[in-house]
Structure 1
Amino acid sequence: MKILITGLNGTLAPRLAEAARAAGHEVIGWDRAAVDIDNEALSAAWLSAQSVDAIAHLGMASARFAGWLASRCPNFLFTSTVMVFDHQPDGPHDVGDTRNARDDYGRYKAACEDAVLLANARPVIARIGWQIDETRPGNNMLLTLDDWQKRDGRVAASSAWTPACSFMTDTATALLGLLERPLPGVHHLDSNAEEAWRFDEVARALARKFQRDWRVEANEDYRHDQRLVGGPSGLSPLSARLAR
């Protein structure tokens, strides 16, 4: 299968590309320097010439582009976020819950979801939480906590927050499965969905696993059961990778 993956300069998309290539698939990216996504005629000609079998849209682009891209390929996957849900009302958040984001990022992702659903009869929309990886830059929980320790001399972690979170390689494997065996609809991919680890527990477990000397200090500054539940697929639990 030939797969177009957008966002290959980002955080999660390279892990998906690694998993796809390891499974024998051909992966191509979208070079925006060569093909301007705002030039619809040029984009259409380039994409048609690629003859892709599937598209995984993980890159940051407008909702208009997300809808346009979804219209070009039946086997289309869009990666969204838990941030489409605000912390009030509290979670856990089911696939059928009303999206009520108040921040710009969450509203942006919700708009992309809507555009994809209008443009493609049977898309896959995969909502994910905070990703964990040993090396990938970007929005990566492990490296973010490293930064907090360096900046503040401690890792402040709310025991009143139950985060949606997963190891990046597990998320990539799940996304690849949804490309290989498309199951249209909204999927919530969260390794914390069943076990409900608190954020301070996750931070301490990561410190042990990756031999970090963080000073983890629990507080209750942020209250939210953020877990993503429901939907037709899931991920291995955090306990498969971390000791509680």
Structure 2
Amino acid sequence: MKAIITGMNGTVAPYVYEELLNHDFEVIIWDRSQVDIHSFESVHNFISLHQPDIFFHLATGPIEWLEAIVKSTDELNIRLLFTSTVSVFSEKGSGPYDITSIPNSEEDYGRYKIMCEQLITNHHHNAVIVRLGWQIGAHARTNNMFHYVSHQHKTQGYIEASSKWFPSCSFLDESARVLVDCALHFHPGLYMANSNRKYSFFEIVSFLKDKYHTDWNIKETTSFQRDDRMIDSRVKMKELF
């Protein structure tokens, strides 16, 4: 099978790329320096040239690029996998969230993802949308939870971690496994992927400290209280720990 993937300079796509190779996919990487994302003709011609079985759109970009991808893949009868986010829900509210929860973000990124979800739902007959939580990598070189807490410890000498905050989060390799599985086997529609069943941010950071043998000084707080967990029984993910 063949796939096109966007977002290889981001956090999730490199892991999905490796997972696709493990499934014996031929993977075409979208290079923005070679394919103009602002030209519908360029987008359509690139997709038409390669004729992938699945298009993995994991990048963030202008809505016009997504429109071109959606229209082209739908016309060419190509399955589309799009990653959305728990950030579609308001930071002023609290979960846990399920598939019936109404997206209501006031933030630019969340509103952008809501717009993307609506566009895909309305104009693609064979698309899978997967909302992801905060991703956890094994190092501090990418935009993930490990990077965030490592940077906080480096800059202020300690990490503040609330025992009253329950984030949606997953390890990157598990997210990649689930995204490929959804693309291959799930019916078109909206799904939510989260590995955190019950743990607070304080518990998660403490676990990461032990797992990666760091010297972090972790300070438990309770001032930030929110439940951001997403629950979707259709998506089977390994628990965090």
TM range (shorter): over 0.9
Tell me how far apart the structure 1 counterparts of residues 162 and 67 of structure 2 sit (CA, whole Å). Answer: 37
Displacement, 1:115? 1.1
TM-score with structure 1 setting the length: 0.93
CA distance in 1, matches of 2:6, 2:122: 20
Q: How many residues align?
A: 237
- Tell me the SS of whatever aligns to 2:56: strand
- Structure 2 gaps of 5+ residues are none
Where 1:69 maps in the other structure, the secondary structure is helix
Question: Is 2:171 aligned against 1:167?
Answer: yes
**Partners of 2:156 and 2:239 in 1: how far apart?**
30
Match of 1:64 in 2: 64
1:80 aligns with 2:72: no
Identical counterparts, % of pairs? 33
- Do the aligned residues in 2 keep the contact of 1:75 with 1:182 (CA within 8 Å)? no
For residue 94 of structure 1, give the secondary structure of its aligned residue in structure 2.
coil
**Structure 1 residue 180, shift from structure 2 partner:** 1.8
SS at match of 2:27: strand
Q: Which one of the candidate residues 191, 195, 209 is aligned to 1:191?
A: 195
* Structure 1 position 186, deviation (Å): 1.2
Task: Describe the SS at the equivalent of 1:21.
Answer: helix
Q: Which moved more, 1:25-34 or 1:202-211?
A: 25-34
Higher mean displacement: 107-116 or 228-237 = 228-237
After superposition, the CA RMSD in angstroms is 1.4
- 2:224 match: 222
The yes-or-no answer on 1:99 pairing with 2:103 is yes
| Residues in 2 aligned to 1:234 and 1:53: alpha-carbon distance in whole angstroms | 23
* 2:151 aligned partner: 147
TM-score by length of 2: 0.94
CA contact (8 A) 2:121 2:189 kept: no
CA deviation map 1:188-222 (0-9, x unaligned): 10001x3x100000000000000011111111232
Structure 1 counterpart SS, 2:135: strand
1:110 aligned residue: 114
Q: Secondary structure at the match of 1:108?
A: helix
In 2 relative to 1, CA 124–210 (structure 1 residues): closer, same or farther, beyond 3 Å? same
